[in-house]
Amino acid sequence: MSQPSLTLPTPGQQAGRNRRLLEILGAAAIAATFIFLVLTQPADIAGGLGSVSALVALGGFLLGAVLLIVGVLPTLPTATVVLMPVALVLNIVLGQLMGSTGLPFYLDAIGTVLIAVLAGPAAGAATGALSSIVWSFINPTVLPFAAGAALIGFLAGTAARYGLFRRFYLAPVAGFVTGIVAGVVSAPIAAFVFGGTAGAGTGAIVSAFRAMGDTLLAAITKQALISDPMDKAIVFTIAALLVYALPRRTTFQFPFVRRYNVLAGKEPAKRNA
């Protein structure tokens, strides 16, 4: 009887390629859905919204989010997976609280950004998508925004990868830019699936643009361009503050932090093999 090996096998090429394919398909589904929605947006919504748009928005974005999750999750180290529920609870609790205040902000991505900074863009994207899916158990209206949430996680991780979290003042800038992209991508969901936004504050802003004669999609997109960049700048700043407060031994658990020197602003850069 031969003994089982005590060491990990080197990961197979084929499995890695399959995962990669799922990630690409997921991203493609999200991109294609967005393009379709913008190109075919109904010119006149008076006769009711095109329910095809709603179906495509729901189906395409959700499919993309699920493909991303299935592709990314098995590649993540357990330390990241175990941190995800914590991030999700932060997202959900803060998001739910913020939604009830009437302010035109969301604050529902702090956990996502936290993971993205510690574990990278792929982990961030999976966290964002999972966050929407799990949150929908208590608030189903967030489910269709899974793709937008994934994008925020991806962009936050990319910002961390290129050192935007090394300096405290760069984090809100990265957040602002992320907010612009995320807002534009999420607007069609709000418009076609829900015909508006859920919050009182955001609703008021949309009404103002509608009063000036904008189409619904245009009005919601403009509202998103007002709310989202500010919101994400705040979220990135809070996440940066939280990460800076973590002890070094904790942040250095994450290979992404070590490899890309993500938090050099906090401590003198130190070479690490």
Among 158, 180, 210, 230, binds other proteins (CB under 8 A): 210
- Closest by CA to 220, choosing from 193, 233, 202, is 202
Tell me the residue type at 46.
A
Which residues, 10 to 39, sit near other proteins by CB under 8 A? none
Tokens coding 135: 């949150």
Contacts of 59 (CB under 8 A, 6+ apart): 33
In the list 25, 31, 63, 89, the residue contacting other proteins (rule: CB under 8 A) is 89
Site for other proteins contains 139 (CB under 8 A): yes
CA distances from 191 to 24, 136, 143 (A): 26, 19, 14
CA 103 to chain centre: 20
- Whole-number Å distance between alpha carbons of 53 and 59: 10
Smallest gap from Cβ 161 to other proteins, in A, equals 18
Measured from the CB atom, the residue of 59 and 167 that comes closer to other proteins is: 59
Among residues 168 and 250, whose Cβ is nearest to other proteins?
250
Task: Give the nearer residue to other proteins in terms of CB position, either 154 or 181.
Answer: 154
Work out the burial of residue 184: count CB atoms within 10 Å of its CB; fewer than 13 is exposed, 13-18 middle, 19 or more buried. Answer: middle
Asked whether position 103 contacts other proteins by CB under 8 A, the answer is no
Stretch binding other proteins (CB under 8 A), from 29-37, 68-76, 161-169, 180-188:
68-76
| CA dist., res. 163 & res. 157, Å (int) | 10
Q: How far apart are CA 89 and CA 127, in angstroms?
A: 11
Backbone angles phi, psi at 224, to 5 degrees: -60, -35
- Residues present in the chain in total: 273
Tell which positions 146-205 bind other proteins, by CB under 8 A.
194-200, 202-204
User: Quick one: which segment of 81-89, 169-177, 181-189, 227-235 binds other proteins (CB under 8 A)?
Assistant: 81-89
Residues 218-257 that bind other proteins (CB under 8 A): 241-242, 244-253, 255
Binding residues for other proteins, total number by CB under 8 A: 87
SS (H, E, C) 170-211: HHHHHHHHHHHHHHHHHHHHHHHHHCCCCCHHHHHHHHHHHH
Task: Render the burial of 247-266: b for 16+ CB within 10 Å, e for the rest.
Answer: eeeebebbebbeebebbebb
| Stretch binding other proteins (CB under 8 A), from 23-31, 52-60, 157-165, 171-179 | 52-60
Q: Which is nearer to other proteins, 58 or 177 (CB)?
A: 58
Nearer CB in complex with other proteins: 28/79: 79
* List 25, 49, 63, 170, residue binding other proteins (CB under 8 A): 49
Shortest Cβ 206–other proteins spacing (Å): 6
Residue 88 near other proteins by CB under 8 A: yes
Site mask, other proteins, residues 116-135, x = CB under 8 A? Answer: --------------x--xx-
